[in-house]
Structure 1
Amino acid sequence: MVTLDPDDMKPVINRLRRAQGQIGGVIRLLEEGRDCTDVVTQLSAVNRALDKAGFAIVSSGLRECLMGPDGVDEDARAAMEKLFLTLA
């Protein structure tokens, strides 16, 4: 099991809170019958925010997972992160 560093997660939590607000905005736009372009633009912004949060979590998890007695093997971490991003 990989434990995420709480300090690494502070910006992720902030990003997710912003995304939460954006989702509320999307709901309001729909309830108000706003233009489709406005709704889709907001949904796109939410999607990007969630993707970035997910990537940050995975990156932090990979750092923790790959931490060895000599510290982080940066080459292995970079390779694993690149591999994950190609699958995303």
Structure 2
Amino acid sequence: MGSSIQDDHCENPSGGRKSHHSEQVKKNLVTRLNRIEGQIRGIRGMIEKDTYCDDVITQIASTQSALNSVAKILLEGHLKSCILERINEGDTEAIDEVLVTIEKLMKK
């Protein structure tokens, strides 16, 4: 039974893993990413217009913060769904996967 839960939620029919966010969470993430995309275009425009460097850096910091927020939402959902399911099924390698992911997020 535990395996079928994982199959229903964390794997797609071709055997690879997939996320399983609600439509509301997906909409929230897409909205945030669209906003971030706009911020990136704004940064490019600031550079093209020779905007004062500190103002550009401030906008970059804001964009990085927004990306971190998206990553936090994704990580929380991942921990509460796929990782929890895998651990409950005895797959302790899921912990190592999360540690590697957190390490990637913390590199700057």
Whether these two folds match at TM > 0.5 is yes
* Residue of structure 1 equivalent to 2:53: 36
For structure 1, the residue ranges without an aligned partner over 5 or more in a row are 69-82
Q: CA deviation at 1:58?
A: 1.2
TM-score (structure 1 length as normaliser): 0.71
Answer 1 or 2: which has greater strand percent: 1
* Within-5 A mapping of 1:1-88: 1-5=17-21, 6-65=23-82, 66-67=84-85, 87=103, 88=106
| CA deviation map 1:19-69 (0-9, x unaligned) | 10000000000000010011001100100000100111111112211148x
| Aligned partner of residue 3 in structure 1, secondary structure | coil
Q: Is the 8 A contact 1:2 1:61 kept in 2?
A: no
Alpha-carbon distance between aligned partners in 2 of 1:15 and 1:4, rounded to the nearest angstrom: 18
Q: CA deviation at 1:9?
A: 2.1
For structure 2, the residue ranges without an aligned partner over 5 or more in a row are 1-16, 87-98
Alpha-carbon distance between aligned partners in 1 of 2:40 and 2:28, rounded to the nearest angstrom: 18
Task: Give the aligned length.
Answer: 78
Over the aligned positions, Cα root-mean-square deviation in angstroms equals: 2.7
Alpha-carbon distance between aligned partners in 2 of 1:26 and 1:47, rounded to the nearest angstrom: 12
Alpha-carbon distance between aligned partners in 1 of 2:19 and 2:64, rounded to the nearest angstrom: 25
Give aligned-pair identity as a percent: 27
Alpha-carbon distance between aligned partners in 2 of 1:61 and 1:46, rounded to the nearest angstrom: 23
Q: CA deviation at 1:7?
A: 2.6
